[in-house]
Each structure stands twice: as C-alpha cells, then as structure tokens.
Amino acid sequence: MQTIRTLPKIALFAAVAVAAGIMLIPIALTITNSLMTESEFVFNYGLLGKMTDAASRQGESFVNLKLIPDWVSFAQYWKLLISMPRFLQMFWNSALLVAPIVAGQTAVASLAAYAFAKLRFKGREALFLVYLMTMLMPFQVTLVPNYIIIDRLNLFNTPSAIILPGIFGAFGVFMIRQYMIHIPGAYTEATKMDGAGHAVIFARIILPLVKPGLAALSVLLFVDYWNMVEQPLIFLEDPFKQPLSLYLLQIHQQEPEVVFAASVLYMCPAVLLFLYAETYLIEGIQHSGIKG
C-alpha cells in the first residue's frame, strides 16, 4: 500500500528530472563547445563559423552539434579575453550600467513600498494602482515619452539615459510592497509606543524583515537589466558605451569561433548570483505573493 502511494511522487520526480535535463542541454552544449579548438568549431559549425576549404568548394554549409569536443582547448577564452580587449570593455559597460540600477531601484523601491504598505494617506490605493498600470505597460508604449524627456535633459547617449529610468521602475515597488504588507502591524505599533519615528521603524524594523525580498528583487533586477537590449540600442548611439548584451551579436557576426566562450562568460554573473542568493530568492518570491 505504501509503495502504491509513493508511485505518483516517483513519477512526478522523474518527469521533473527529465524536464530539467532537457532544459540544461543548451547550457551543457554551450559550455562544452566553448572548449573546442577553432578547427573543430569550423568543421562542426559551418553555418556559424568559417567554412572549411572542402566545404567551401562543394558549396556546403552544415551544423554538427557535439556535446563532447575531440580536444579540450581554452583557445576560445584566450582569444576572447586577451586578443579581443573590447569584450572586457563591454563587460564592464554592462556592470557599470546594471549595478547603479539594481542599487538605486532597491533603495527607491524599499522607501516607496514602505509608504504604500505602512503609511495611511488619502489616495494611497489609487496612486498604487497607477504604479501597477505603469508596470504593465510594455517598453514600446513608454518609448516616445522617455525619449523626449531624455533628449530634453541632454542625457541622450550617456549612461544616465539607461540608469535613471531603471532606478525608478515600478516592479520593485510592487514586489517589496507585497512583501511588507505581510509584516504584522504589531511590530511597528510597539515601536511607535516607544517614541520611534518612521525613519527608525523603517531602518531597524522593516528593512531587516524584508531582507529576503530585497535580495530576491536584486537578483531579478540584475538578470533583467543584464540582458537588456532595447534601451541601450535606442539611447546609446556610441558603440563603445553599449553593454555586452549588444556586443554578443557583433561577436557572432565578426568572430564566430569564440561565440560559445562569449556566451559562457556572459551568463556567468547571473548564474553565480543566483546560486549565491538562491535561498533568499525563493523565500522572497514566496512571501511577496508573486507566482511564476
């Protein structure tokens, strides 16, 4: 009888394991193929790389997916990091754009969320509804007004054109507010009875309790803005100011033999951050009420 009851759990576990394995195949291919020699890459990925002489003469083009390279080589990484200094420049461009956005939006969101969750003022719910409406609008809808404002402020083609709109995004306010409303009011009321003001309550009571939510928000913001394409493509005309997310396409077109290594290095920061903050991310999303 006990065995019969456990069969559905085993089947569910097996199905999840198979689905996870399928989703990990592209990542595994990217990592292992980044260890190929240039000649092996050219032979296996004629459509992506340069054609071999024999294939060029025959007018053939092909892609031969391989999980295990014939020879392990770090030549792709050497060429990418040593012979192509622009990759590192674009990498730091991304870091210098994303870091202020994550730090700024986390700070602004925590303050605004405290006001929406714990303060009582006229029009609070209506104002929060407006916040939600702006969050639901796609980037294309707000593109023209953002462009006009950035141009009037003389911020066009500067990092501030990306950073400032990112800092005042509505998603962080919504997520942290949903987290704060689950904090019992007895905590803040007891502190008020001791004569503490809102600054003390926010810094000593609320912030420590919403630490998982802030950590989860930081991870989600980092992944979102690390992969941004539309904003820098429109607001940054200078290619040397653009982030790595745009430079990957150029690498694919100009230096296809290092495209796998570039993809591995590109996803490393997001993966490492997720592994470091995995517990906070899961707890923060659960308590904020956001469902996948």
pLDDT score of 152: 92
Task: Name, in order, each residue with C-beta under 8 angstroms of 46's C-beta and a sequence gap of 6 or more.
Answer: 52, 55, 60, 61, 62, 63
Give the alpha-carbon dihedral of 284, 288, 289, 292, to 10 degrees.
Answer: -50
Q: Which pLDDT score is estimated for 252? A: 76
| Mean pLDDT in consecutive groups of 10 residues from the start of the chain, 292 residues | 64 83 86 85 66 44 71 88 88 94 94 89 87 82 87 92 91 89 79 78 87 89 92 90 88 81 91 84 65 44
pTM: 0.82
